A and B are shown apart, each in its own frame.
Chain A
Amino acid sequence: MLKVLAALAVGAVLAGVASVAVVNVASPTPEPPNKPLYNYGTR
């Protein structure tokens, strides 16, 4: 029983963090770049 309760608690925390992350990322983003050449990346 204790394991089930602990699992539920951990699951709730994970679900909360996941929800916040998804909401943040799903919010509108700026238009992508539209230029002929681009860098390999940013660091």
Chain B
Amino acid sequence: MSLPRLVPLSLRRPAGVPPLSPRPPGRAGVGGRLARLAPAALGLLLGMLALGPALGPGFVLRYDMVFVPDPPPAFGPALGAGGFPRAVPSDQVVALLSLALPADMVQKALLLGVFVLAASGAAALLPGERTAARLAAAAFYAWNAYLAQRLLLGQWALLLGFAGLPWAVRAAAGTTWRAAGWGASTDGAAEGGAMGGAGCAAGGESSGRWYAVRLAAALVPAAVGGFQAMLVTAITVLPVAALSGPPRVARARVPVTALVVAVLSLPWLVPALRSDAVTDPAGVEAFAARADGPFGTLGSLLSLGGVWNAEAEVPGQGSWSVAAVRLALSLVALAGFARFIGFAGFTAIARVRERRDARVNGPRFGRGLAAAAVVGLGVACLGAFAPGVLRGLIGWWPGFGPFRDGQLFIAPLVLCQALGFGFAVDRLGRVGPAAAAVPVLVLPTFALGAFGRLAAVDYPDEWRRVQALVNADPAPGALVSLPWGAHRAFAWNGGRVILDPAVKMFARPVLWDDTLVVERRAGGAIRVAPEAPAARRIGALIRDGHGPLTSALTREGVRFVLIAQVNENEFLSRLPGARPVLRAGELLLLRL
């Protein structure tokens, strides 16, 4: 079946959809190729600007982002201790990449890759000849409060999925803009076969069997990222696959999409289902979306912020002026998206025919992406406005635990706004390219590592010595990390809070306290109980008076105890018979 390749845009534009400026539908030659590479280059530039001092020599350590030198591939923080596999397979991929490159270089490549992938992906959802629109969408998607806050929370693995999301949407909808304009792809879906229509947009060169291959390739970043990245991707690609063509296309495509998502989730899904970890419903209050500015929780979420942790806010983002400008930009972007997807009735509800025509001619992924954004916003609002529902769900099945941190599910809303912003910029004419600076101007303090919140540091020498000693020991047995708490704030890391690095350093199971303590600004703390059974048992031992621990730890299969940065006598008195192996700097390593 032949599909229309180049149809004059003026013939495609339905009533109600704003006219496009009369530009040629494509560019050839070097100039065209440079224009296509421009979004990726812009992403790289924005990444360098955002990371700033974090690109220096050393590791960037902040909250969940803990990279270590020579990471062992065999164990992650959860694989060894029986908790939920939060860093699977991301830690294993980092360990494998670190066989070829120093781990700090791997980290920088991944962080910069997030920006490049995000920017180029958002641009790839817009027609190739619309350079200003593509650059604006690229800048918006690579520079926003969501990305900034999640980066400041150290969730680089989630951001891999976020960066790959536009590519996943593109693959799930079978969208290409190779030979047509804004409204071309839906025609391909309508005229193509069930899966053929899914795989081709303009030209019919893709067959249905390539749909799964393309989708799997597009989902690789999310698959590497692990459970959060895949969940965000799943709630996006499934509606896109379901709503991106005629019903018979969706019937063929949705099961394939679900199967690809399920297969790529196996690395973390299998250990999660086999785990006997539990989820504390108290986490609903701790990790619900919150107001990070003057416009309340909903205003924060619409402005793409609202992360649960106040320490992960971009500095200065909560001031009235900055928050107001961000919210205004988001509203403009949402209006732009409504028009982009052809919802001309947005401004003229009564003109039913106009609306229907516009829907038919919108981008193929438009309705699905809009549905995903609504669902994501709903999940984000659930913990904030109906916590009882979520607590009940988690109490019924711990698998609902990931929905505690609902704000992360607004990723499709970010993509909607980026595309809407690009569409709005396309109407600006000659001043359009300058609009690529707007996302930076509305969140300027994300620059330079959020003004020092991100920086590169070296591990003190004693950490590497302990790592070498423990990993060289052939005898089996776990390592217990003390003091009994999940997070540290080392002076050598500028006081930045990080997950205990011991969790990721050793080629043996590490037993650590995965209790999460979140301070309330109003006073008091929320304690989210540990998930891993071993952590619960050892935690009870440590907190239970001042008796000796040596025999109990030996029964738990413990061979080493690592004590960091505290008065060692506090623990030595409870570990009779333990032999010091290394005492250096802030560390004391004991063998039982």
Contact = CB atoms under 8 A, between A and B. Distances in A.
Interface in B484-502: 485-489, 491, 494-497
B321 A38 contact: no
B441 A39 contact: no
Interface string B349-384: 000000000000000000000000000000000000
B497 to A, nearest CB: 5
The B interface is mostly helix, strand or loop, or mixed, namely mixed
A21 B516 CA distance: 32
Contacts of A24: 316, 319
B488 A41 contact: no
A38 B286 contact: no
Given A18-B442, A22-B445, A25-B316, A41 B519 contact: yes
B451 A26 contact: yes
Contacts of A32: 489, 494-496
B308 A41 contact: yes
A38 B437 CA distance: 37
A36 B564 contact: yes
Interface residues of B, number: 51
Interface stretch (B103-111, B218-226, B428-436): B428-436
B155 to A, nearest CB: 12
B315 interface: yes
Contact of A40 (B435, B444, B487): B487
B53 interface: no
A42 B521 contact: yes
Contact of B451 (A13, A25, A42): A25
Given A35-B489, A37-B483, A43 B520 contact: yes
Interface in A3-17: 3-4, 7, 11, 13-15, 17
Nearest to B566: A36
B579 to A, nearest CB: 23
A25 B519 contact: no
Contacts of B435: 7
A34 B495 contact: yes
B87 to A, nearest CB: 16
B20 interface: no
Contact of A21 (B322, B526, B564): B322
Contact of B518 (A14, A20, A35, A41): A41
A35 B111 CA distance: 28
A43 B310 contact: yes
A24 to B, nearest CB: 5
Contacts of B319: 20-21, 24
Contacts of B437: 11
Nearest to A31: B495
A26 B445 CA distance: 9
B518 A37 contact: no
A17 B441 contact: yes
Nearest to B442: A14
B517 A17 contact: no
Contacts of A41: 63, 153, 308-312, 497, 518-519
B489 A34 contact: yes
Nearest to B496: A32
B438 interface: yes
A14 B495 contact: no
A11 B398 CA distance: 48
Given A14-B441, A34-B491, A35-B489, A4 B521 contact: no
Contact of B438 (A4, A14, A36): A14
Nearest to A35: B489
Residue of B315, B429, B483, B520 contacting most chain A CB atoms (<10 Å): B315
A40 B519 CA distance: 8
A33 B487 contact: no
Contacts of B430: 3-4
Contacts of A21: 316, 319, 321-322, 444-445
Contacts of A26: 451
A4 to B, nearest CB: 6
A30 to B, nearest CB: 10
A25 to B, nearest CB: 4
B517 A40 contact: yes
Contact of A37 (B315, B487, B494): B487
B290 interface: yes
A18 B319 CA distance: 11
Nearest to B567: A36
9 contacts: A4-B431, A11-B434, A17-B441, A34-B491, A36-B566, A38-B488, A41-B497, A42-B310, A43-B290
Closest 9 CB pairs between A and B? Answer: A32-B495, A41-B309, A14-B441, A18-B444, A37-B485, A38-B489, A7-B431, A25-B315, A25-B316
Given A20-B321, A42-B309, 10 more contacts: A7-B431, A7-B434, A14-B442, A18-B444, A32-B494, A36-B483, A37-B489, A38-B485, A41-B309, A41-B519
Interface of A: 3-4, 7, 11, 13-15, 17-18, 20-22, 24-26, 31-43
